Amino acid sequence: MKTRVVIVGGGTAGWLTAGIIASRNPLLGEDSTTEVVLLESPDVKNLGVGEGTWPTMRDTLKQIGISERAFLRCCDASFKQASKFVGWRQDANHYYYHPFTAPAGYGVVSLADDWTDAGCPGDFESWVSAQGHACEQHLTPKLPQLPEYAFTYNYGYHLNAGKFVALLHEHCTDRLGVTYRQGHVTSIESHENGAIKSLTLDNGNVVEGDLFVDCSGFSSVLIGKHYQVPFVSQRGVLFNDTAIAAQVNYTEEQTPIASATVATAQSHGWIWDIALQSRRGIGHVFASEFCDAEQAEQTLRRYIAGDANLLQDDVTTRVIRFDPGHRKYFWHHNCVAIGVSAGFVEPLEATALVLIEKSAEWIADQLPRTPAAMQVLAKRFNQMTNARWQEIIDFIKLHYVLSDRTDSAYWRTHQHHESWTESLSEALQLWQSQPPGLNESNNRQELFSSASKQYVLFGMGFRSTDWQTSGLLPLQKPLIERFKREIQQHVNRVNTELLTNREYLQKLKR
Ligand SMILES: Cc1cc2nc3c(=O)[nH]c(=O)nc-3n(C[C@H](O)[C@H](O)[C@H](O)COP(=O)(O)OP(=O)(O)OC[C@H]3O[C@@H](n4cnc5c(N)ncnc54)[C@H](O)[C@@H]3O)c2cc1C
């Protein structure tokens, strides 16, 4: 008997989950023990905003069996090497990079300790990495001769979410054996023990299954509406609850394609700016408690108007409202929620797709075949996912609490300790006496490494003021000097050896 996985929802979460499960539990062939059916409502549109990914997406695509070339061509995609934060401090011109490549020597020796020892001179990111330098020049993260998915600098992507879903749909159904059915889930039938037995669609079809994955986005059809699993609002910590999104064309075909998501702070939120091959995705995410939509749209339009590389004609916008937060638990009986149905907080640091990938991988690897296994796995999944949400919330909040902006109640309220989580306050206390270190966390499933925390903390001007020089560092000096020389060599090489994003992607198209 095959285990049948029924996925409700054909957005990015649904198709990524289908692809990941199918690639780790082959559906085709006589020996197959798994079946995957994906249901999609013809009436409910996908959210489809998510345009920035983490480097994890390279492994996901490779694992699913999609070539990088096809992906880049089909999805209007480009390379993302970092997030660039502009104006997050009082000085409007201040910026820093949070790149995807860890500091040189990471795991061998701590250049963060070395930088702190040296009295925190200049910009932390350029002390420990050359990636920001490459981003400033809109360069690719890979030498042209490197094979698909290999890198010189670690990278993810910027992509057109609608095209990405179309590619995944085609690949999963044509190559991996996923069954696709259109229909709106209208009712849910249960077994006596409360587990889901089947779903009825508006066209009368009934779909039975063993495991049901709720990828129905904000509708949250199974975990929310059916099971009524409580929603944990995080509005008191992360205030942003509205986004105004626009898609803007380039003025010229040769306009540079940025290698980083640019996040520019505003009085009541921030503006994201994501460069694809043919256009830029730009949007303003803000807190409605502090600013109305009209004012936020004006801010967005001013940003667009101030950029000579953007075509100003017919810029239309779309408003998306959300309650920042997540479910209290994510797996109940034989139903597990992935994607927006499980939770969503603002898009800073692009944490949504990576959580989808990680959740789907875990489920795909452990795919429960009996009710007993299901019960144990559900408990573990809930613990792990709750810890991940806590981590995401703390890491996003970190960007705000470190700001010295006082120009609005929005920023001042972020700095009030009452809006901080206990775990974040604790971590900040620890970092006061030592830079984030490799082994400071006991969470094996951690999403954000200590490297990420270093980039944000020190980029925002935080200093470990109680730091006592590490006794180890003098012994490690030759090693540290070697890594620093390597960074300098990289800086010298990138200009001559790396193509710009535009050049690389144009070559690829040809
Ligand atoms: C402003 C903004 C910016 C973002 N930026 C990023 C980013 O840069 N990086 C990132 O990782 N993420 C980002 N995200 C998040 C990202 O867009 C989502 O995580 C992603 O689109 C996944 O959505 P989903 O598949 O869970 O839901 P959806 O795309 O909403 O899909 C839901 C699916 O469920 C189906 N459905 C609903 N009800 C029913 C029903 N009754 N029966 C059958 N089917 C049903 C719908 O038809 C649809 O196919 C952003 C989100 C927002 C709002």
Query: How far is ligand 1, taken at its centre, from the CA of residue 218, in Å?
Result: 7
CA dist 257 → 87, 158, 250, 281 (Å): 21, 10, 10, 12
- The preferred substitution site among 17, 37, 49 for testing ligand 1, maximizing ligand atoms within 8 Å of CB, is 49
Taking alpha carbons only, the member of 321, 334, 346 closest to residue 372 is 334
pLDDT band at 444 (very low <50, low <70, confident <90, very high): confident
pTM for the full model? 0.97
- Regarding the beta carbon of 283 and ligand 1, being less than 6 Å apart is answered yes
- Residue the block writes with tokens 């925002």: 460
Q: pLDDT tens digits for 457-510? A: 999 999 998 888 777 788 899 999 999 999 999 998 887 899 999 999 999 888
- The preferred substitution site among 157, 340, 447 for testing ligand 1, maximizing ligand atoms within 8 Å of CB, is 340
- Regarding the beta carbon of 38 and ligand 1, being less than 6 Å apart is answered no
For 444, residues 6+ apart whose C-beta sits below 8 A from its C-beta are: none
For 46, residues 6+ apart whose C-beta sits below 8 A from its C-beta are: 10, 11, 12, 161, 162, 165, 217
Query: How far is ligand 1, taken at its centre, from the CA of residue 47, in Å?
Result: 4
Using the Cα atoms of residue 12, residue 16, residue 17 and residue 18 in order, give the sign of their dihedral: positive
- Cα of 280 vs its chain's centroid, Å: 18
Query: How far is ligand 1, taken at its centre, from the CA of residue 495, in Å?
Result: 38
Q: Which domains does the chain have, with CATH numbers?
A: 3-51+160-230+325-389 (3.50.50.60), 103-155+399-496 (no CATH), 242-321 (3.30.70)
Q: pLDDT tens digits for 335-369? A: 999 999 999 999 999 999 999 999 999 999 999 99
Q: pLDDT tens digits for 261-314? A: 999 999 999 999 999 999 999 999 999 999 999 999 999 999 999 999 999 988
For residue 274, give the ligand 1 atom closest to its CA. 8
For residue 216, give the ligand 1 atom closest to its CA. 34
Strands 34-40 and 3-8: what pairing? parallel
Neighbours of 433 (CB within 10 A): 11
State the Cα–Cα distance between residues 213 and 232, nearest whole angstrom.
20
For 189, residues 6+ apart whose C-beta sits below 8 A from its C-beta are: 196, 197, 198, 199, 200, 206
Query: How far is ligand 1, taken at its centre, from the CA of residue 424, in Å?
Result: 28
- Phi and psi angles of residue 338, each rounded to the nearest 5 degrees, phi first: -135, 140
State the Cα–Cα distance between residues 272 and 78, nearest whole angstrom.
16
Neighbours of 223 (CB within 10 A): 27
Q: pLDDT tens digits for 247-271? A: 999 998 889 999 999 999 999 999 9
- Regarding the beta carbon of 72 and ligand 1, being less than 6 Å apart is answered no
- Regarding the beta carbon of 11 and ligand 1, being less than 6 Å apart is answered yes
Query: How far is ligand 1, taken at its centre, from the CA of residue 90, in Å?
Result: 34
Query: How far is ligand 1, taken at its centre, from the CA of residue 69, in Å?
Result: 25
CA dist 271 → 214, 282, 292 (Å): 30, 7, 15
Taking alpha carbons only, the member of 324, 321, 273, 268 closest to residue 296 is 268
